[in-house]
Amino acid sequence: MQYLSGEYWKTFDIWKNVEKSEWENWKWQLANRLTDLEDVLKVFNLNKEEIETFRRTSSIFHFGSTPYYISLIKDLNDRNNSIRKQIFPLYEEIDERIQSYGKLDPFLEDEMSPVEGLTHRYPDRVLFRATNFCSVYCRHCMRKRMFLEDERARTKQEYDRMFEYIRENKEIREVLLSGGDPLTLPNKKLEYILKNLYKIDHIDIIRIGSRELVVNPYRFFDEELLNLFDRYDKVWLVTHFNHPDEITNITRKAVKNILSTGTPVLNQTVLLKGINDDEKTIENLMRDLLRVKIKPYYLFFCDPTKGVVHFRTPLDRGIEILEYLRGRLSGLGIPIYAVDLENGLGKVPLSPNYLLDYSDGIATFRNYEGKIVRMQVEFSNLDDILTEEGKRRVL
């Protein structure tokens, strides 16, 4: 967790004349995103090779960041900084020797789409891609294919077709608003979506997947948005923190605002090589999330998306990390480790194995310290007594 004090951004040359009322305004953050090499050179010192790499890679996969997110980088010259690595285009991303192992749409989200913009994989939930714009383009994004297209929100007509499908399919209980980042949409457009989903009686939950809390927390100081959350009280927010440096005193205040509207806040982390793939970093991240009252939900094995392959860890890295967390960290802070199966076959939770043997009503467990414990877990006589016949005999 980082503490940002006063008008801390004024220590950066590029933002030294930015007023508090500007910096803390989410629209200013969006309007003043850094989007190209020229912007980047105002903040970072790059050598010739880095400049060339930046140019080549970002001409394929866009670059973009809010000033706030960049201001969280503790040392601008540190190439290993975890925030820098999440936004900085590197050659690995377009190196075919690496990326040919990936696919642009490994989960067939576009193919398994009954109406453009919707992915209906599980019977009771539908993924609703509201826009393909994000205020930060994460290098590890699983929907990196959308960086290749023009940035745009969908039209009202497209939304209307999506609502109609949801209205007609009564088994859908939850709509997962995603993108891109749906909270980069203007409030009016967001309200249009919420209002229409709200009218569909069989929808219980509207889950908003957004990274704005990480990259532009000032979004949640916008009274209009908080008002929407208050009125449309089916909303849950799922955010995407990957590293403890991303959590600040501003985050804490923003979460407080969100919680005051009755909206729960959960987090999904992606396990990323060289960024957070070690026990200590994940432990600190989960602790900091709890401190600001965000519930860790998923820890994902990095997806096999083209452009992201170099961030993948061994599959069992996540299992080892969970093993380390158990017993050391509040159970509230332990996420579900999961891998998404290719071809849209769904997510699979993975966990250390604590049940070593189980037969004849006796189980052998391994506890968090590695102690082996045998325990009788079923009692056959008890079953007998609990039958109707057994009860009568007692009476």
Should residue 121 be labelled a site residue for ligand PLP when binding is judged by CB under 6 A?
yes
Q: What is the dihedral of CA 76, 79, 82, 86, to 10 degrees?
A: 100
Nearer to ligand PLP, 1 or 115 (CB): 115
Using the minimum distance from each CB to ligand SF4, give the nearer residue, 87 or 235.
Answer: 87
Q: In the bound complex, what is the minimum distance in angstroms from residue 145's beta carbon to ligand PLP? A: 15
Stretch that binds ligand PLP, among 34-42, 94-102, 117-125, 143-151 (CB under 6 A): 117-125
> Which x/- pattern, by CB under 6 A, does the window 151-180 give for ligand SF4?
----------------------------xx
Beta bridge partners of residue 363, listed in sequence order: 358, 375
Can you tell me the distance from the alpha carbon of 187 to that of 211, in angstroms, rounded to the nearest whole number?
A: 16
Q: How far is Cα 19 from Cα 250, in angstroms, rounded to an integer? A: 17
Residue number with CB closer to ligand PLP (141 or 176): 176
Instruction: Kindly identify the residues of this chain, within the stretch 168-197, that bind ligand PLP according to CB under 6 A.
Output: 176
Task: Say if residues 244 and 250 touch (Cβ distance below 8 Å).
Answer: no
Residues 210, 202: contact at Cβ < 8 Å?
A: no
Of 62-70, 122-130, 250-258, 319-327, the window that binds ligand PLP (rule: CB under 6 A) is 122-130
CB of 159 to ligand SF4, least distance (A): 18
Answer yes or no whether residue 137 interacts with ligand SF4 by CB under 6 A: yes
What is the 3-class SS of 182-238, one letter each residue? Answer: HHHCCHHHHHHHHHHHHCCCCCCEEEEECCHHHHCHHHHHCHHHHHHHHHCCCEEEE
Please tell me the distance from the alpha carbon of residue 54 to that of residue 48, in angstroms, as a whole number: 10
Per the CB < 8 A criterion, the answer to whether 225 and 219 are in contact is yes
Residue 287 site contact among ligand SF4, ligand PLP, none (CB < 5 to 8 Å, cut-off depends on kind):
none
**Binds 143, which of ligand PLP, ligand SF4, none (CB < 5 to 8 A, cut-off by type)?**
ligand SF4
The answer to whether 267 and 209 are in contact (CB under 8 A) is no
Applying CB under 6 A, does 10 fall inside the site for ligand PLP? no
64 Cα distance to chain centroid: 18
**Pairing verdict, β 118-119 and 362-366:** unpaired
User: Residue 10 or residue 125: which is nearer to ligand PLP going by CB?
Assistant: 125
Query: Which one of residues 93, 109, 181, 191 is an interface residue with ligand SF4 (CB under 6 A)?
Result: 181
Residue 366 interacts with ligand PLP (CB under 6 A)?
no
Q: Among 43, 73, 130, 141, indicate the residue that binds ligand SF4 (CB under 6 A).
A: 141
262 vs 346 by CB, closer to ligand PLP: 346
Q: What angle do CA 33, 36, 40 make, to 5 degrees?
A: 80
- Active site (catalytic) residues: 121-122, 125, 134, 138, 141, 143, 303, 340, 347
Q: Which is nearer to ligand PLP, 82 or 119 (CB)?
A: 119
Segments of 251-345 assigned E as strands = 265-270, 295-300, 336-341
**Would you count residue 119 as binding ligand PLP (CB under 6 A)?**
yes
**What SS3 class is residue 254?**
helix
CA dist 324 and 320 (Å) reads 6
The count of chain residues that interact with ligand SF4, using the rule CB under 6 A, is 11
Binding site for ligand PLP (CB under 6 A): 119, 121-122, 125, 127, 176, 347
Residues found near ligand SF4 in the complex (CB under 6 A):
134, 136-138, 141, 143, 179-181, 211, 240
